[in-house]
């Protein structure tokens, strides 16, 4: 049994959906479970819609109409003017219509998940309809009934026992009779509310499903030839890895390599399921294979860049030493606000941490920290991580930049740059 995951770039237009169908058609004869992300930049637009609704701005309906028109345009190019999928699309979008009729009363993260999740629900309706339109027997599955999470909105924590039982109960029988199309990124709570698994979480969805079903492999289809040593949008002359170990892939994703969601690898490693990263425009290309027992070789450093960073420096109110009890309080505040620390350093009088900036969470974090400590911060920064670095590469990347923080060990160098 094969699990395929297609990201937003692979289904950004009608041509992409057609190509997806052609890729899957090459593997007919296998049991195939297809996980699909929201189309193109839909998640970004739904985030704008969430902010407009939550903040009561005038562009709310304009943003929503743009999202709907984008999907209807793709459907018209695929199916013409009259097809049942148009009702499916309308019935999915009506969930947002119902929500935005009322004033927002719930927590931002809850609202975010209920609105942003619509992207995957619509994209999978279109992809599933296209399969059946082309004679590929396909079944649409609502993943929210199978991946069970707690109520941590925007980063649902998976209940693995319940999830495994649900997946193993129904999905194998479905795969015997048809391809199954389902959503990435989404989960469901015991109260039947939608959760999301963290930004770019569709890879993680594929990993969860594969590990519970004992899949032969997971293939994530990307707009790059495989896993590269750096993002080709920012760096020229990148190189592709043919193979990577689970351990190296986990390290790369931990530090922010965006080609794979950080939580993807561990369930696959536990079940010894290889992960293939392949280009959807050249499906016969070898891509990159992540598996056990690989001795990774690094001709050049792996360069990972995280933008939109904040560097926080935290001091006690009386400028006494930072003790273990202070650190416990600080990490407690970070945990309460679901903030991950990308880089940290402790001195006698301060604790410094580099974190991703997300306005609604950062403001709450800052208020909570200021109740206990003195806080200073710099924003709009870049965190650059080099795995298997050389001093020459580190010097090249920091030339002409202000280094606010630097940390190195035998394998990894990290610098916060302004």
Strand residues in 213-267 grouped as ranges (E): 217-222, 243-245
Tokens of 398: 């920091």
Sheet holding 374-387, edge to edge: 343-346, 351-356, 302-315, 374-387, 412-417, 403-408
* Chain segment 376-390, per-residue pLDDT in tens: 999 999 999 999 999
pLDDT on residue 257: 85
Separation in Å, CA 5 to CA 9, 164, 165, 279: 12, 19, 22, 12
End-to-end CA distance of the chain: 48
Positions in the chain short of pLDDT 70: none
- The pTM for the full model equals 0.90
Task: Show the domains of the chain with their CATH numbers.
Answer: 2-291 (3.40.1160.10), 302-417 (3.30.2130.10)
Burial (CB count within 10 angstroms: exposed 0-12, middle 13-18, buried 19+), residue 371: exposed
* Chain segment 344-363, per-residue pLDDT in tens: 999 999 999 999 998 888 99
Q: Are 409 and 395 in contact (CB under 8 A)?
A: no
pLDDT on residue 12: 97
pLDDT on residue 298: 85
Helices and strands counted in the chain (H then E): 13, 16
Annotate 186-212 with b (16+ C-beta within 10 A) or e (fewer).
bbbbeeebbbbbbebbbbbbbbbbbbb
Dist. CA 418–CA 402, nearest whole Å: 5
pLDDT on residue 296: 72
pLDDT on residue 233: 86
pLDDT on residue 38: 97
Strand partners, 417: 382, 403
pLDDT on residue 206: 97
What's the full length of the chain, in residues? 418
């Amino acid at each position: 049994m094969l699990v395929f995951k297609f990201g937003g770039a692979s289904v950004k237009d009608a041509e992409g959906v057609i190509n997806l169908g052609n890729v899957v058609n090459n593997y007919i004869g296998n049991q195939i479970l297809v996980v699909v992300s929201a189309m193109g930049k839909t998640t970004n637009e739904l985030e704008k819609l969430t902010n407009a609704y939550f903040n009561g701005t005038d562009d709310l309906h304009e943003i929503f109409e743009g999202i709907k028109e984008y999907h209807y345009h793709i459907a018209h190019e695929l199916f013409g003017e009259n097809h049942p999928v148009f009702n499916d699309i309308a019935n999915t979008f009506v969930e947002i219509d119902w929500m935005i009729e009322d004033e927002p009363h719930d927590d931002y993260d809850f609202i975010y998940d209920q609105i942003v999740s619509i992207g995957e629900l619509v994209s999978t309706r279109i992809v599933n309809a296209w399969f059946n339109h082309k004679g590929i027997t396909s079944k649409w599955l609502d993943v929210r009934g199978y991946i069970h999470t707690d109520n941590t909105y925007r980063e649902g924590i998976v209940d693995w026992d319940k999830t495994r039982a649900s997946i193993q109960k129904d999905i194998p029988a479905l795969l015997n009779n048809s391809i199954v199309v389902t959503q990435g990124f989404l989960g469901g709570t015991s109260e039947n509310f939608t959760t999301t698994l963290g930004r770019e979480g569709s890879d993680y969805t594929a990993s969860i499903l594969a590990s519970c079903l004992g899949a032969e492999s997971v293939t994530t289809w990307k707009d790059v030839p495989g896993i590269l040593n750096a993002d080709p949008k920012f760096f020229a002359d990148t190189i592709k890895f043919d193979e990577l170990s689970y351990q190296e892939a986990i390290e790369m994703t931990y530090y922010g390599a965006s080609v794979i969601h950080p939580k993807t690898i561990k369930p696959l490693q536990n079940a010894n399921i290889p992960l293939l990263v392949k280009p959807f425009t050249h499906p016969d290309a070898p891509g990159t294979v992540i598996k056990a027992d690989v001795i990774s070789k690094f001709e050049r450093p792996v360069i990972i860049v995280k933008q939109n960073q904040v560097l926080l420096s935290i001091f006690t109110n009386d400028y006494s030493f930072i003790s273990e009890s202070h650190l416990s309080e600080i990490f407690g505040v970070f945990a309460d606000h679901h903030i991950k620390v990308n880089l940290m350093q402790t001195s006698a009088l301060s604790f410094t941490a580099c974190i991703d900036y997300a306005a609604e969470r950062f403001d709450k974090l800052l208020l909570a920290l200021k109740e206990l400590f003195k806080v200073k911060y710099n924003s709009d920064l870049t965190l650059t991580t080099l795995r298997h670095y050389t001093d020459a590469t580190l010097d090249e990347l920091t030339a002409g930049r202000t280094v606010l923080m630097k940390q190195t060990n035998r394998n990894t160098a990290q610098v916060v740059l302004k």
